[in-house]
Structure 1
Amino acid sequence: MPLALLALAVAAFGIGTTEFVMMGLLPAVAEDLGTSVPTAGHLVSAYAIGVVIGAPLLTAAGVRVPRRRMLIWLMALFAVGNLASALAPGYGTLLAGRVLAGLPHGAFFGVGAVVAAQLVAPERRARAVATMFLGLTVANIFGVPAGTALGHQLGWRATFLVVTAIGLLAMAALWALVPRLPLERGNGLGSELRALANRQVVLGLLTAVFGFAGVFAVYSYLAKTVTEVTGLADSSVTWVLALFGIGMTFGAFVAGPLTDRALRPTLYGSLAALSVVLVLFHYTAHHTWAALVTVTVIGAVGFMTTTPLQMLVMNSAHAAPTLASASNHSAFNLANAAGAWLGGAAISAGWGWTSPTLVGAGLALVGLVIALVAGALDRGGRPRVSRIVGRSPIRRKAAAHASR
């Protein structure tokens, strides 16, 4: 794998850390700024709003910017947003800083996925995209627990200063390791918008919204589930979340080669497995070891959906995949919000702390149905991978050399 994928993974690690670490810092932030924890919880939503808004807008604005330069600019905005969060004098400015930090999230992963696919041979593109996503999953194992611990020891502002430094490191790595990649001719905003309207792209985005909402319906209330139902101590929550992150990392690791071999079957299988394991968690949550194993499996099968969904929208968008790729991350964050809301509604209705597992299973099942319908409508049967972004730059150089 090219070293450039390491630079993308470092950036993904920083993004994943800042996205999820706020959940562990909410009590400290609320106390420092003199607000309640539920009000401080809006800082999590503010980041998601930034992702949903920024993914299409920033990608559209930079559609003619060389991709290496675009990645560096996006990480610069990410660093500025986290620095603004660290220096925020009050709740309102911190809210604005979180929105600013979230703006480049979807655009970065959208452009980064296209770049990763360009760096390798067509039969290894899903593995390259999955390698970038590994940075996001590793953040849940190391970055989020370390950032939470640092925030409690030195104050929550120290955590965002460190994340800012990670952003600057990622900028340097992108500048040093990512090659200058030529833009495909004729790929303007019009082409990207037409690709986004493709039926298969729309169905892929809907699959992401419903399928991944199943994960977040459970993940959003995982801490309360394992303390109130499983009976674990509050101090164990960090390790439970780390187990979920380990599952995510395993899922991302195996999803790459599976997606390269059989994209739609990988997507169908992961969504079906997700719906089944979420139902199982409704029962295993009452038993410590069974609950811990199930949490790990949820992370694995849940994150196994991300690579095939990413490749699906990129393949369906053909020669103009950047905006569709970025919009996929808006879909993931809509899934975050929708899953958390529906899971919370089930709890508020008095159905118990395990009720989000059944809600999540239902959402994953809806995502599977949409994916199956999309597959039936895709008369080609298999995505034409070679049309995503043309041949990789390395292969183009070899071909040009051979023609001389």
Structure 2
Amino acid sequence: MASTSDGPAAGAVGLSAGLVALAWLTQFLVGTDLFVVAPLLPAIAASLGVSAATAGLLVTAFSIAYVVASPFAGRLSDRRDRAAVLVVALVLFSVANAATALAPDFGWLLLARVVAGIAAAATGPTVYALVSSRARPQARAQVLAVVGAGLLTALWVGAPAGALLGRHVGWQATFVILAAGTLLLALPNAFVWRSGPGAARDVRTKTPVRGGRTGVGPAVSSVAVTALWAFSVYSLYTFLGVALHSDGRATAVMWLLVTYGVGAVIGGQVGGMFADRVGAVPVTRTALALTAVLEVAVALVYPVTWALACALALFALAGYAFFPAQQRHLTDMFPKQATAVLSWNNSALFVGLSLAGAVGGHVVHGLGYPALLYIGAAAAVPACLVARGRPPRTHGREHGL
């Protein structure tokens, strides 16, 4: 297995529990910063004397900066020392969060969030690439799922905790803590990825991979599946709370979101485990098919809260099984450009998420929340049809991403 998915040294290096925990914590803090802004928007708007709609530009600015910077950051990380790129990104992320807390007006705050988006674009994919290059081939997707669970945990633990802190001591305190946390993480990340045989010379310098692919076209086609998946999943998630509030079920929002979050974390672990055992592509296609079916089920049972909880848990479990399997699939296809293609994958995720937000509001307002779920389910169908393995290419001129 090692000979087909990585260089011969891949299985020999391995990952300690400490490295996995550090990668998880890094993703958790970055994810908390990503998700905490939305619940803090009312407080930020009131503090700086801007409208809620204007404050919403903070989320848009971060997302656009992330999408634009991510491919460039990934390419840089593949060509340079990944550990060094990660440390610089974490320090920049810390500075951006400190600037967010200290911003004297909305203009400076907007600029700080742009810088934070750029730093995050270099952080997440580089962590995934470092983990992927050192994980044993037979457990690569499982390890990616564990690390990715840090981001998912931020969604339903980190962001609510940050929002609660913001309500009691001010929104600035949340970003001060995030700035301190990411700065502290930069120190161990500067050293631990350089320990062990071949650690500093990761997947970029290993023996050429049999069947590895290069080129922009295949990469774009592969990550387009992620964009469709993200639209399907986040069209449901983004407007769930809004819909429940409008239906008079505001008290159910928190525990339903926790149910969803737990299902997502479990789904990621299940997807990673099966991707390592039966292959990444069967898992991605199965997950996408189940996502479509279960999103329709959520729409059908939406009026009944207990049934909605059950459907949400199953939907999250199936939907988030896709992501670690897709990451494994991409790193197996593009081993020499792992960070770059994972960066493209994360950009595709943000594109799908942003489209879900842009389209979903109009659909919910005009047709209702269940109608949006049917549209989201429909988006997962072509993703399932497109997701497939590609035949290995062993000859011909190579082109970098």
**TM-score range, shorter-chain basis?**
0.7 to 0.9
Deviation at 1:236, TM superposition (A): 4.3
Does structure 2 conserve the Cα–Cα contact (< 8 Å) formed by 1:20 and 1:144? yes
Note the C-alpha offset of 1:354: 2.3
Q: What residue in structure 2 maps to residue 27 of structure 1?
A: 42
Does 2:301 correspond to 1:284? yes
Distance 1:380 1:62 in 2: 25
Q: In the alignment, what sits opposite 1:149?
A: 164
Moved more, 293-302 or 91-100: 293-302
Is 2:330 the counterpart of 1:313?
A: yes
Count of matched residue positions in the alignment of Structure 1 and Structure 2: 367
Report the CA distance between 1:294 and its aligned residue.
2.2
Name the counterpart of 1:96: 111
What's 1:240 paired with?
Answer: 256
Match status 1:37 vs 2:49 = no
Q: After superposition, where does 1:329-348 map in structure 2 within 5 Å?
A: 329-348=346-365
Match of 1:105 among 91, 96, 120: 120
Deviations 1:213-257 (A, max 9, x none): 11111211111122223x322x54333332222122111121211
Query: CA RMSD, aligned part only?
Result: 2.0
CA distance in 1, matches of 2:77, 2:336: 16
Partners of 1:353 and 1:169 in 2: CA distance: 42
- What is aligned with 2:268? 252
Residues 65 and 379 from structure 1, CA distance in 2 versus in 1: closer, same or farther, beyond 3 angstroms? closer
2:377 matches 1:356: no
Moved more, 176-185 or 138-147: 176-185
The AA in structure 2 aligned to 1:243 is: T
User: Cα 1:52–1:273, aligned 2, differ >3 Å: closer, same or farther?
Assistant: same
**Match runs of 1:365-384 below 5 Å:** 365-371=381-387, 374-375=388-389, 378-379=390-391
Instruction: Report the secondary structure of 1:195's partner residue.
Output: coil
| Aligned sequence identity (%) | 28
Q: How does 1:146-295 map to 2 (within 5 A)?
A: 146-178=161-193, 179=195, 180-183=199-202, 195-199=214-218, 201-229=219-247, 231-233=248-250, 236-261=252-277, 262-295=279-312
The match for 2:321 among 292, 297, 304 is: 304
Counterpart for residue 10 of structure 2: none
* C-alpha contact 1:198 1:317 (8 A) present in aligned 2: no
1: CA distance, partners of 2:177 / 2:215? 36
Alpha-carbon distance change, 293 to 122 in structure 1, aligned in 2, over 3 angstroms = same
| CA distance 1:236–1:100, change in 2 (3 Å) | farther
2:90 corresponding residue in structure 1: 75
Contact 2:90–2:119, Cα closer than 8 Å, also in 1: yes
Q: Residues 36 and 236 of structure 1: is their aligned pair in 2 closer, same or farther, counting only changes over 3 Å?
A: farther
Secondary structure of the structure 2 residue equivalent to 1:63: helix
What's the CA shift for 1:268?
Answer: 0.8
Q: Name the counterpart of 2:74.
A: 59
Change (3 A) 1:176 1:217: same
Deviation of residue 145 (structure 1)? Answer: 1.1
> Is the contact made by 1:106 and 1:327 (CA closer than 8 Å) also made in structure 2?
no
Kindly provide the CA deviation profile for residues 249-302 of structure 1, in whole angstroms up to 9, marking residues without a partner as x. 111121211111221111011111111111111122211111222223332222
Query: Using the alignment, how far apart are the partners of 1:111 and 1:206 within structure 2?
Result: 20
- Distance in 1, matches of 2:374 and 2:236, equals 9
Cα deviation 1:98-135 (Å, max 9, x = unaligned) = 11111132332222222112222211111121121011
Determine which of 21, 35, 55 is the counterpart of 1:6.
21
Normalized against structure 1, the TM-score is what? 0.85
Change (3 A) 1:42 1:296: farther
Deviation at 1:196, TM superposition (A): 4.4
Aligned partner of 1:269: which letter?
A: T
Q: How far apart are the structure 2 equivalents of 1:279 and 1:185?
A: 43
Aligned residues of 1:195 and 1:324 also touching (Cα < 8 A) = no
CA separation of 1:93 and 1:294: change in aligned 2, threshold 3 A: farther
Kindly indicate whether the alpha-carbon contact (under 8 Å) linking 2:96 and 2:112 is maintained by their aligned counterparts in 1: yes
1 CA distance for matches of 2:204 and 2:85?
Answer: 17
| Residues 174 and 361 of structure 1: CA distance in aligned 2, closer, same or farther (over 3 Å) | same
User: Cα distance 1:185–1:332, how it changes in 2: closer, same or farther (>3 A)?
Assistant: closer
Contact 1:212–1:302 under 8 Å retained in 2? no
Q: Which amino acid aligns with 2:118?
A: L
State the AA in 2 paired with 1:44. Answer: V
Which ranges in structure 2 are unaligned for 5 or more consecutive residues? 1-14, 207-212, 394-401
Unmatched tracts of structure 1, length 5 or more: 188-193, 382-404
The change in CA–CA distance for 1:198 and 1:315 in structure 2 (over 3 A counts) is farther
Which has the larger displacement, 218-227 or 4-13? 218-227
Whether the 8 Å contact between 1:25 and 1:148 is mirrored in structure 2 is yes
SS of equivalent to 1:321: helix
Structure 1 residue 93 displacement after superposition: 1.4
Structure 2 length-normalised TM: 0.86
How far apart in 2 are the matches of 1:170 and 1:138? 18
